[in-house]
Amino acid sequence: MRSLLTDVTVNARLERDSKRMIDPQKILRTVFGFTDFRAPQGVIIKSILQKKPTLALLPTGQGKSLCYQIPGLALDDLTIVISPLIALMKDQVDALHKKGITAHYINSTLSQLEIKQKYQDLINHHCQFLYVAPERLLTKRFLELMKKHPPVFVAIDEAHCFSTWGHDFRVHYRDIPLFIEQLPKKPRLALFTATASRKVVMDLQNSFNIQSANVFRGNFFRSNLFITTKHFELHSQRFLYLVYLLHRVFVNQAGLIYVTTRKQAEMIYQALCKLDPSQKLAIDYYHAGRTAEEKMLIQEKFINNDLKIIIATNAFGMGIDKANIRFVIHFQMPGNLENYVQEIGRAGRDGKFSWCELLFHPSDIEVHQRMQTKKTKKRAQRSLNKMMEYVFKEQCHHQKILSYFEDPQKFTAGCARCEYCAPFSQRFLKFMQTQLQPTKLTKLPTFVAQQQLILEQNNTIKLKDLLGVGLDMLQ
């Protein structure tokens, strides 16, 4: 079999006996620079190489990509990675190129000529990893190509999108079993997700014939994340608390602010810019309505630290490889616990202490209910109920997350990483709630009070105008 590794030094380091695949431990050390696998990476890779259909539930930041890249390198033939995420495709292909490994992606950002060139590379055995969206699998040209040049390994990323029980069901994921059936030779198969409920796991097992012994779970307790949930009666309190965090707590730190709608992302961005004329925050907003060029530029600036803060809908984040995100703020309650856990998991991937704030206002519930359609209402409301239970249940936040994802860990003396297990944060919350009464400007944190008074004295803007009419900012 012809080696697909293009870089001479990498190829030499991974030279193998022609009768045996390359040792995964050697790949880990020589290509990726790590000495040991992180649990459960080793057993996941072993299961895949033993030709067992495998399901891996690995929270964000636990080395999921290594679990399919290393088997792909060990097999030294074509691996198909199915992903819905254009940003992830580009980032991972770029990262593989830097290591001298042949990889391509095919998606809607490419011209027909570029796609034709990628296909030709595949025919000429110049492609070891091919990233594609599920929508492409059953297209005539792609399917013909796969029948002539079948993959030895198919990795399905964001596998929860396959299940109608999941929080992010995508209909074209249901094409995957049919695609695999039409291949002339059955490939190795592995499914990966950061978040999946019991029903989703069962659905995936039944649909892809995965035995329970080949379902592997990572550790859902992120000990370097401090998680808090704060309840606000007024929109103004919530916004002023956000201003306080950005200008006094997370100064010059990289972070994400998640909101529910595109309109809210733009509104919060405009409001923060008006309070920050010198642009100290280095902030931008991101949602599905921005152009592909704008989104790519924002991602690159954020990764390169030219932007510090992104205000985003859940369109942003998956596949973004940035280890030093110090805080994740949910300015509104997410619609489901899966998204919430995935999004806070983007903080502290370097292992350093990071902060996760959920700022809840009762109107958040109505926002999500208005977004439900007849087709999705039952599933969406079920997910929303679980999210509300998380927000309102007075229990260790980390324990609630572990229980939801069926992680058996128990904290007998508390986690020490949430406001229920660290009493100082409860006192801080009560203090801040008192200070953030908009009728008591003299008691506001000094910075916020000064900014508001300066703006109003200059007749430039009033606090109630910052987030638009009708949001009862000063009620």
Q: Indicate whether 455 pLDDT > 70.
A: no
Strand order in the sheet with 309-312: 225-231, 354-360, 327-330, 255-258, 309-312, 283-286
**Mean pLDDT over each residue of the chain, to the nearest integer:** 84
- Mean pLDDT across the stretch 291-299? 88
Residues ≥6 apart with Cβ < 8 Å to 381? 369, 372
CA distances from 62 to 183, 269, 345, 400, 429 (A): 31, 31, 10, 20, 31
Q: Which domain holds residue 405?
A: 225-466
Q: Indicate whether 5 pLDDT > 60.
A: no
Q: Are residues 59 and 93 in the same domain?
A: yes
Q: Is 188 inside a domain boundary?
A: yes
Taking only the tens place, the pLDDT of each residue in 366-414 is 999 999 888 878 888 988 999 999 999 999 999 999 999 888 888 888 8
Q: 104 near 131, Cβ under 8 Å?
A: yes
CA distances from 243 to 249, 331, 435 (A): 10, 11, 13
Q: Is 3 inside a domain boundary?
A: no
Domain tally, the chain: 2
Residue 278: the pLDDT is 76
Q: Are residues 237 and 208 in the same domain?
A: no
DSSP 8-class letter at 159: G
Residues ≥6 apart with Cβ < 8 Å to 51? 188
Please classify residue 362 by burial: count the beta carbons closer than 10 Å to its beta carbon, then call 0-12 exposed, 13-18 middle and 19+ buried.
exposed
Give the torsion sign (CA, 289, 323, 254, 304). negative
Residue 308: the pLDDT is 96
Residue 296: the pLDDT is 83
DSSP 8-class letter at 173: G
Domain endpoint, select from 217, 248, 266: 217
Q: Are residues 332 and 187 in the same domain?
A: no
How sure is the predictor about 10, in pLDDT bands with cuts at 50, 70 and 90? Answer: low
DSSP H helix total and E strand total for the chain:
19, 13
Q: Is 299 inside a domain boundary?
A: yes
How many Å apart are CA 210 and CA 212, to the nearest integer?
Answer: 7
Give the torsion sign (CA, 273, 278, 281, 287). positive
Q: Is 471 inside a domain boundary?
A: no
Q: Are residues 20 and 55 in the same domain?
A: yes
CA distances from 437 to 22, 264, 362, 454 (A): 64, 22, 17, 18
Q: Indicate whether 259 pLDDT > 70.
A: yes
Q: Are residues 161 and 270 in the same domain?
A: no
CA angle 138, 141, 143 (to 5 degrees): 40
More confident residue, 37 or 166: 37
Q: Are residues 257 and 152 in the same domain?
A: no
Q: Indicate whether 157 pLDDT > 70.
A: yes
Residue 469: the pLDDT is 28
Residue 276: the pLDDT is 79
Q: Are residues 378 and 456 in the same domain?
A: yes
Q: Indicate whether 17 pLDDT > 50.
A: no
CA angle 112, 116, 120 (to 5 degrees): 170
Q: How far does Cα 304 stand from its chain's mean position?
A: 18
Q: Are residues 213 and 229 in the same domain?
A: no
Residue 148: the pLDDT is 95
Q: Indicate whether 310 pLDDT > 90.
A: yes
Say whether pTM exceeds 0.85: no
Domain endpoint, select from 175, 197, 217: 217
How many Å apart are CA 127 and CA 21, to the nearest integer?
Answer: 18
Give the torsion sign (CA, 422, 425, 427, 433). negative
Q: Is 431 inside a domain boundary?
A: yes
DSSP, collapsed to helix, strand or coil, labels residue 242 as helix
Q: Are residues 277 and 412 in the same domain?
A: yes
Q: 119 near 144, Cβ under 8 Å?
A: no
Q: Is 473 inside a domain boundary?
A: no
Q: Are residues 82 and 212 in the same domain?
A: yes
Q: Is 171 inside a domain boundary?
A: yes
DSSP 8-class letter at 473: T
Domain endpoint, select from 175, 199, 217: 217
State the distance between the two ends of the chain, measured CA to CA, in whole angstroms: 72
Span of 19-28, 284-293, 326-335 with lowest mean pLDDT: 19-28
Q: Are residues 283 and 302 in the same domain?
A: yes
Two structure tokens written together for 371: 């977004």
Q: Is the peptide bond before 40 cis (omega within 30 degrees of 0)?
A: yes
Tell me the CATH number at 363.
Answer: 3.40.50.300
Q: Indicate whether 6 pLDDT > 90.
A: no
Choose among 156, 196, 169, 185: nearest CA to 53.
Answer: 156
Q: Are residues 212 and 321 in the same domain?
A: no
Q: Is 94 inside a domain boundary?
A: yes
